């Protein structure tokens, strides 16, 4: 199978190789079950194999086979919970194969194609629609944070202590205090960066092409922007904006990161210090994975700690 390069990492473990071995059979079974005509895989892929699919009635969809990690286990539940309000619709789900059939965003322009402040405008209009109260089956943010606190020191040691101990100590201290003092619990998303928000109708694309920005309100449908690929938890609203604050898609510099922190906190009515703390803690927790270090994430933590 011609896999996207971003999935090469799965070949490095027995579980990953087993998943790759099963993929051709699962693809064939899903295509038969849902009567799909499949196209070649999308090349941008790091945690799942996704292919364009056409249903017999002409509906444009995406077939997604997830790598069996814990963070995306309840993606289908999150999409069902939002029911198309601010996120793509779930059309069908096969839990045994971790297969999701979802609607296809068209034209699918990513949010980071906008100028940075216009992208933030769009996100500020979108996020309140996603903040729905939620409980089981989603993992609580407090439970997930306890896992980060437990794993981070060992990951830091195994990776050869790739950053200053003060960063680790600060993140551990912040996570402990934040997890136990949260506000109202809503459905939040660990991976809401500017590549996971797509243009969902011609209004957004046409406006973008005409003048370099898109409207942040609703167009003549559910768009103009919809969330894809959630990694859901239940937690306080302040956690939701963390991936957008740290993400390099809208600029990777101390000034750009602080600007996103300030704008999103202020205009969404969030507690800036809690957003700051969650950004430091979660970003460092995701800064090392299986002894691989992600320097851009470490940069963000250092910038935020040194500027406050």
- With contact defined as beta carbons under 8 Å apart, do 260 and 250 qualify? yes
Closest CA to 184 of 144, 228, 249, 235: 235
Tokens in use for 307?
A: 């500027």
Residue with tokens 């100590």: 169
Residues 6+ apart with CB under 8 A from 58: none
* CA separation for the pair 44, 253 (Å, rounded): 24
- With contact defined as beta carbons under 8 Å apart, do 113 and 212 qualify? no
* CA separation for the pair 97, 113 (Å, rounded): 33
* CA separation for the pair 46, 9 (Å, rounded): 8
In this structure, how many other beta carbons lie within 10 angstroms of the beta carbon of residue 240? 25
Cα-Cα end-to-end distance for the chain: 49
- With contact defined as beta carbons under 8 Å apart, do 61 and 122 qualify? no
* CA separation for the pair 26, 97 (Å, rounded): 7
Tokens in use for 116?
A: 């940075």
- With contact defined as beta carbons under 8 Å apart, do 303 and 254 qualify? yes
Considering the candidates 77, 121, 191, 229, report the single residue annotated as catalytic: 191
3-class secondary structure, 3: coil
The reply to whether 290 belongs to the active site is no
Closest CA to 30 of 102, 79, 83, 89: 102
Number of H helices, E strands in the chain: 10, 11
The residues carrying an active-site annotation are: 191
């Amino acid at each position: 199978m011609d896999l996207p390069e971003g999935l090469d990492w799965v070949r490095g473990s027995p579980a990953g190789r087993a998943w790759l071995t099963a993929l051709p059979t699962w693809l064939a079974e899903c295509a038969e079950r849902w009567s799909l005509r499949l196209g070649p895989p999308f090349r941008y892929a790091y945690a799942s194999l996704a292919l364009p699919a056409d249903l017999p009635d002409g509906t444009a969809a995406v077939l997604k086979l997830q790598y069996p990690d814990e963070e995306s286990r309840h993606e289908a539940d999150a999409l069902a919970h939002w029911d198309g309000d601010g996120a793509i619709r779930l059309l069908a789900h096969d839990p045994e194969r971790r297969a999701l059939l979802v609607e296809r965003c068209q034209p699918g322009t990513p949010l980071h194609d906008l100028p940075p402040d216009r992208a933030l405008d769009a996100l500020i209009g979108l996020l309140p629609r996603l903040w729905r109260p939620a409980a089981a089956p989603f993992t609580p943010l407090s439970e997930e944070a306890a896992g980060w606190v437990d794993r981070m020191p060992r990951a830091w040691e195994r990776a050869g202590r790739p950053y200053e101990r003060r960063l680790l100590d600060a993140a551990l201290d912040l996570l402990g205090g934040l997890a136990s003092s949260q506000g109202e619990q809503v459905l939040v998303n660990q991976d809401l960066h500017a590549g996971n928000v797509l243009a969902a109708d011609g209004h957004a694309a046409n406006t973008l092409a005409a003048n370099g920005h898109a409207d942040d309100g609703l167009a003549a449908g559910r768009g103009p922007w919809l969330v894809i690929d959630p990694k859901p938890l239940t937690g306080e609203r302040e956690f939701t904006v963390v991936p957008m604050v740290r993400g390099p898609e809208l600029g990777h510099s101390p000034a750009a990161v602080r600007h996103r922190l300030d704008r999103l906190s202020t205009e969404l009515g969030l507690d800036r210090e809690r957003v700051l703390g969650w950004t430091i803690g979660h970003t460092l927790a995701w800064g090392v994975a299986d002894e691989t270090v992600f320097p851009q994430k470490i940069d963000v933590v250092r910038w935020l700690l040194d500027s406050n």
